[in-house]
Chains A and B, each alone.
Chain A
Amino acid sequence: DGGITQSPKYLFRKEGQNVTLSCEQNLNHDAMYWYRQDPGQGLRLIYYSQIVNDFQKGDIAEGYSVSREKKESFPLTVTSAQKNPTAFYLCASSITSVAAGELFFGEGSRLTVL
């Protein structure tokens, strides 16, 4: 079945540690996205990528980094510079078409900083 796989589903980390969240898709989509969701709040865009080896900052990129070396993969690193990293992280992908660009989401990764 095609879809987006995020891992791990739950992650605990100590302050000062970097952590990398995995996002893999087999939908053959060119565009991929990372969003952060805090309890009771909407989705805020961290980074997005429209093509391999290219990505753009979203509205809250500080303290995060990404890479897009393969079409299928768009990992997110939450660095120690991110002051409030505890959140629900959602990865999504879409085709690069204005007329049909629905986002397909993974099930998310819930990060807790202890």
Chain B
Amino acid sequence: GQQVMQIPQYQHVQEGEDFTTYCNSSTTLSNIQWYKQRPGGHPVFLIQLVKSGEVKKQKRLTFQFGEAKKNSSLHITATQTTDVGTYFCAGRAGGFKTIFGAGTRLFVKA
């Protein structure tokens, strides 16, 4: 069945350093979404990518969707303590079955 792998599992950074998490799917995706979950909270939608090679930016966050629509990345420039949490990618291979990666937990040291 469809699998979505995400690395790394954890990332510790010093405030101001950059951070990247990577997502790979076993199947071609129709779209990929990114979510952020703060400790003790629920996932909150960040963005959706649909087109091959698509790049979207939200302030310090840059999201990319691979040409083959099987991989994606989230890059945060100059992390802040407010960026702490777990970042998940979630993919759809067709229909509305949405499979999540295991997430990357980001720790930011001030």
Report A's interface with B, CB cutoff 8 A: 31, 33, 35, 40-45, 48, 50, 56, 58-59, 90, 94, 96, 98-108
Contact = CB atoms under 8 A, between A and B. Distances in A.
A99 B30 CA distance: 9
Contact of A42 (B33, B96, B102): B102
B45 A50 contact: no
14 contacts: A31-B96, A33-B98, A42-B100, A43-B43, A45-B97, A56-B97, A58-B97, A90-B43, A101-B33, A101-B92, A103-B35, A105-B44, A107-B41, A107-B42
Contacts of B106: none
Interface in B64-110: 88, 90, 92, 95-103, 105
Nearest to A41: B102
A31 B98 CA distance: 11
A58 B1 CA distance: 10
Contacts of B21: none
B97 A103 contact: no
Given A98-B30, A102-B45, A103-B45, A45 B98 contact: yes
A50 B42 contact: no
Given A59-B99, A102-B48, A105-B42, 6 more contacts: A42-B6, A48-B97, A98-B30, A98-B31, A99-B50, A105-B44
A40 B88 CA distance: 12
A40 B98 CA distance: 20
Interface string B26-38: 0000110101000
Interface in B1-25: 1, 6
Given A43-B43, A98-B50, A108-B42, A103 B98 contact: yes
A50 B1 CA distance: 19
B96 A94 contact: yes
Contact of A101 (B6, B31, B44): B31
